[in-house]
Amino acid sequence: MNATAQRTEAAILLAASEVKGARVINFQNENIGDVDELLIEPDTGQVRFAVLSVGGFLGLGSTKVAVPWLAFQIVSERGKIKYMMLDATRERLEKAPRVEGKNYERLYLANAAEPIFVYWDVEWTAER
C-alpha cells in the first residue's frame, strides 16, 4: 500500500488542537480509536507520530499506540478534519508498538522510532 499517495482531499492546514480527539477508522469502517497526541520533532517541524487511544477497540484498558503521521489518510470537510483512516485490522493493532506514559523522548531515537515506521510500512527518512 502506498500510504502517502493522495492522502488528503483538500489543500488546508490543520490546527493541532483539532486533530487531537479526531476519530480514526480502519478500512473495514470500524471505529478503532481517537488521536490522543501529535508528536513533533522540534528541529525539523515534522509531525513524526500520532498517538492513538485504542483501548476500547481492543477490549483493553487505556492502550496507546504510536503510528507514523504518513500512515494516515486524512478526510476533511470545509477545512476541518472529519476523521482519519488507518489500514489497521484488530490483529495489526494488537501487535502494534505501544506507548507507555508520556515518554516521548524515547521515540525521538532512531532505534525506537524506525521499527514503528517499518511496522506501519512507512519509509523512515530521518538521518540519525
Element (H, E) at 24: strand 23-25
In this structure, how many other beta carbons lie within 10 angstroms of the beta carbon of residue 29?
A: 7
Quickly list DSSP for 47-91.
EEEEEEE-HHHHTSSS-EEEEEGGGEEEEEETTEEEEEEE---HH
Minimum distance of other proteins from residue 126's CB (angstroms): 6
Minimum distance of other proteins from residue 9's CB (angstroms): 7
Does the footprint of other proteins cover residue 110 (CB under 8 A)? no
Closest to other proteins by CB, 17 vs 29, is 17
Among 55, 56, 97, 108, the residue binding other proteins under the rule CB under 8 A is: 108
Question: Half-sphere exposure of 6 toward its Cβ, with a 13 Å CA cutoff?
Answer: 1
Among 19, 54, 85, 86, the residue binding other proteins under the rule CB under 8 A is: 19
Among 1, 62, 91, 105, the residue binding other proteins under the rule CB under 8 A is: 105
Binding residues for other proteins, rule CB under 8 A, total: 44
Inter-residue contact 63 to 52 (CB < 8 Å): no
Piece in contact with other proteins (CB under 8 A), picked from 25-33, 43-51, 54-62, 89-97:
43-51
Task: Tell me which residue has cell 488528503.
Answer: 8
CA distance 37 to 64: 10
Binding site for other proteins (CB under 8 A): 4-17, 19-20, 37-49, 69-70, 74, 76, 79, 81, 102, 104-105, 107-108, 123, 125-127
